[in-house]
Amino acid sequence: MSPRERLYAGVSAAAFLGVIGLLSSVLPHRAPESPWVLVIPVLLYALGTRCQFEVGAGFAVPTQIILIPIIFLAPLPLAPLLVALGYLLGRLPDFVLKHAHVDRWIHCFGHAWAVVPPVLIIGLLAPGPPSADHVWVYLAAVAGQFAVGVGEAVLGDRFLTGTPVRENLPPVLWSFWITLLLTPLGFMLAAVSLKEPAMLLGVAPLYWLLHAFSQERKERLDAALELSQTYRGTVMVLADVVEADDDYTASHCRSVVELCAATGHEMGMAMTAMQELEIAALLHDVGKIAIPGEILNKPTHLTEEEFELMKTHTIEGQALLERVGGKLARVGEIVRSCHERWDGRGYPDGLAGEEIPVPARIVFCCDAYSAMTTDRPYRRAMSPEAAIEELRMNSGTQFEPRVVDAVVAVVEKGLVAETEAYNDAVRAVLATHPPKPRLELSA
């Protein structure tokens, strides 16, 4: 573990043990009929930690089914410690097989923090067997578990990896939603197990079934990831083809990708839309591989016939991407519309206004700005100020006003680097981030 992780885990464990000491002084100590009664739920809790459902950057486990019986069967102050022990036993295979470093055993205490609020609330307000008369106490206990569990997961990851809370919060909330759905079953099992602890063994087949479902889900996610990587590889190959065919198109595509990404961010686009926007920006000129080189590299203005042939590159680009299929087929629809004007006088389909896909509107505007500020054999590049003035003059006719405002804001804020300093656009768009430690998101 890194020094930061050691510090976090050590402080969390020390604080947890201190809280357990306080619980021992304020909560009643009910003794089980036999210490062996606690062995079954602890082992079942360990088994439940092996049923891992991937959720975002972490995974959820269905241990709520057995956690609630532990609270009602064990001496209340010891319930969090038994949960920590169950978690530790569940991690033993990972330590033995070296899937995780043995030093991380100390995280078992942090994992059990979410058990403290329900133990405290139930111990103070409803210490007896489960009863419908205390339903509001139990709701408060689950709410406390929810609050501490969510806080520990998102704030812990924020401290350890720097991940923003807003990024981790959705998968954590989804995980604890699973916990809430399993809570009624946990209370029913607790009521039964107080009379017949052996009835807890009925959870084992359920865990086997959940484990089978979790494995199937993992295989589906792995297949989806492999397909995504295939698409990434296809985009990289197409981008390399474009770059090899025409030096101007290569550097131009790089600058358009960068400007589009900054503009999309300025407009508050969602992550999925941003991905399509960046790939469309990268491949918006891919259809030019079907255009003769003497037209692409002509040092003077094109004739009318040559320009009509050049205009077919958007259609050729869509046709090429449709043959790939999947996500790139959707990107192909954007590529086709990357020269449609806001007033409907563009090509190839004469779309206007809201008929034009939003990513295509952004690529069109950024494409124009990049072209105006780049040297060509038949003209010198315009200054950024002159290009911005040109965009503003054509706002509402050639370009969508909202997109023009965003592009101008990006340029004036200096959010776009010079093209010469821009790293490989393909890798910038498609490179995956290194994996972060996976968080267990459910108690």
pLDDT of residue 285: 83
Structure tokens at 206: 């359920």
Kindly give, in sequence order, each residue whose CB lies less than 8 Å from that of residue 240, ignoring residues fewer than 6 positions away. Answer: 426
The pLDDT value given to residue 421: 37
Per-residue pLDDT at 437 = 41
Task: Tell me what pLDDT residue 378 has.
Answer: 59
Can you give the pLDDT at residue 286?
85
User: Is residue 251 included in any domain, yes or no?
Assistant: yes
Does residue 212 sit in the same domain as residue 269? no
Taking the model in full, what pTM does it have? 0.59
Range of the domain at 372: 246-412
| Pair 327, 430: CB distance under 8 Å | no
Same structural domain for residues 204 and 285? no
CB 51 within 8 Å of CB 175 = no
Long-range contacts of 421-426 (CB under 8 A, 24+ apart): 422/254, 422/255, 422/258, 424/254, 425/239, 425/253, 425/254, 425/257, 425/258, 425/282, 426/235, 426/236, 426/239, 426/240, 426/282
In a domain? residue 150: yes
Is there a single domain that holds both residue 60 and residue 141?
yes
The reply to whether 75 and 28 lie within a common domain is: yes
Whether residue 114 sits in one domain with residue 262: no
Tell whether 36 is covered by a domain: yes
Separation CA 348–CA 313 (nearest Å): 10
Assess if residue 231 is contained within a domain: no
Domain shared by 251 and 396, yes or no: yes
CATH of the domain at 144: 1.10.1760.20
- The answer to whether residue 241 sits within a structural domain is no
Same domain, 7 and 150: yes
Q: Which residues pair with 376 in a beta bridge?
A: 379
Residues 211 and 260 in one domain: no
Q: Say whether both 36 and 157 belong to one domain.
A: yes
Could you say which DSSP state residue 439 is in?
A: E
Please count the structural domains in the chain. 2
Residues 266 and 381 in one domain: yes
Does residue 385 belong to any structural domain of this protein? Answer: yes
HSE on the CB side for 96, CA within 13 Å? 6
Q: What is the pLDDT of residue 295?
A: 80
| CA 166/CA 168 separation, integer angstroms | 6
**SS3 of residue 373 by DSSP:** coil
Q: Looking at residue 244, what is its pLDDT?
A: 58
pLDDT value, residue 240: 62
Residue 81 resides in a domain: yes
Mapping DSSP to helix (H, G, I), strand (E, B) and coil, where does residue 157 land?
helix
Q: Are residues 40 and 129 in the same domain?
A: yes
pLDDT in tens, the chain (443 residues): 788 899 999 999 999 999 999 998 888 777 776 777 889 999 999 999 988 877 665 678 889 999 999 999 998 889 999 999 999 999 999 999 988 889 889 989 988 999 999 999 999 999 888 998 999 999 999 999 999 988 888 888 888 888 788 877 887 888 788 888 899 999 999 999 888 888 888 888 988 888 888 788 778 777 766 666 666 666 666 666 665 555 554 455 667 888 998 999 999 888 778 888 988 888 888 888 888 878 877 777 788 888 889 889 999 999 988 887 777 888 899 999 999 999 999 999 999 999 999 999 999 999 899 888 877 665 677 888 999 999 999 999 999 999 999 999 999 888 665 433 334 444 444 444 444 444 444 44
SS3 54: strand
pLDDT for res 68: 94
Q: What is the pLDDT of residue 42?
A: 93
CB 419 within 8 A of CB 155: no
In a domain, residue 136? The reply is yes
The domain that contains 288 carries what CATH number?
A: 1.10.3210.10
- Same-domain status, 253 and 189: no
